[in-house]
């Protein structure tokens, strides 16, 4: 069952003018709507990574490709791209996928869970899996099927 926001809640911060009318990200969810580049909308204000104590938090990653456009035909491909982005941001902090202790995942479609979970499991291989919460949600960009954020632990040198 698809949930729709009341009209009063569609005034999102990512609104812009296009073709003489006010367009929100929700309006652009139509499959026939062109996918905007991130340069078409104001970039949100947040940190990609944040270190506090022995933890590093990595903001939610989507399957962005060149020009900040969503890439990947299905949820498995998008999941791999999200996880590769997480790994790259962790590397900038001197960490790796083995240091991830918790992920939060948002899927746009419940029916994508099995394919997502398969790609997620392949990424981590035989390593100890992080804890995870997975929810179904509408994402901010059309074409995005998954978003993943992570918390990693800095291991003390012994």
Assign residue 99 the CATH number of its domain.
3.30.1330.40
Distance CA 100, CA 129 (A): 8
Rounded distance, CA 94 to CA 110, Å?
34
pLDDT digits (tens, 9 = 90+) for 94-126: 999 999 999 999 999 999 999 999 999 999 999
DSSP summary character for residue 41: S
138 with 146: CB under 8 angstroms? Answer: no
Residue 10, domain member (yes or no): no
Query: Is residue 106 assigned to a domain?
Result: yes
Confidence of residue 39 (pLDDT cuts 50, 70, 90): low
**Residue 129 falls within a domain, yes or no?**
yes
Residue 71 covered by a domain? yes
C-alpha–C-alpha distance, residues 148 and 133, integer Å:
10
- pLDDT at position 12 is 30
Query: What H or E segment, with its residue span, contains residue 80?
Result: helix 75-91
| Residue 99 to residues 41, 57, 60, 143, 155, Cα–Cα distance (Å) | 33, 11, 17, 30, 8
Is residue 49 within 8 Å of 92, Cβ to Cβ?
yes
Q: Is residue 158 part of a domain?
A: no
Q: Is residue 9 part of a domain?
A: no
> What is the domain range of residue 50?
46-153
Residue 23 lies in a domain: no
> Is residue 1 assigned to a domain?
no
Domain count for the chain, please give it. 1
CA distance 77 to 74: 6
Q: Sorting pLDDT into bands at 50, 70 and 90, what band is 37? A: low
């Amino acid at each position: 069952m698809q949930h729709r926001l009341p009209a009063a809640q569609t005034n999102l911060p990512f609104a812009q003018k296009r073709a003489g009318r006010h367009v929100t990200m929700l309006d652009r969810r139509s499959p026939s709507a062109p996918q905007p580049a991130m340069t078409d909308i104001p970039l949100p204000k947040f940190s990609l990574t944040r270190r506090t104590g022995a933890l590093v938090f990595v903001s939610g990653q989507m399957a962005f490709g060149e020009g900040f456009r969503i890439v990947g035909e299905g949820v498995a491909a998008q999941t791999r791209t999200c996880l590769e982005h997480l790994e790259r941001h962790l590397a900038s902090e001197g960490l790796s996928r083995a240091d991830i202790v918790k992920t939060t995942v948002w899927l746009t479609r419940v029916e994508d869970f099995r394919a997502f979970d398969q790609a997620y499991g392949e990424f981590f291989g035989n390593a100890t899996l992080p804890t995870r919460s997975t929810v179904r949600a509408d994402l901010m960009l059309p074409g995005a099927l998954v978003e993943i954020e992570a918390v990693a632990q800095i291991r003390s040198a012994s």
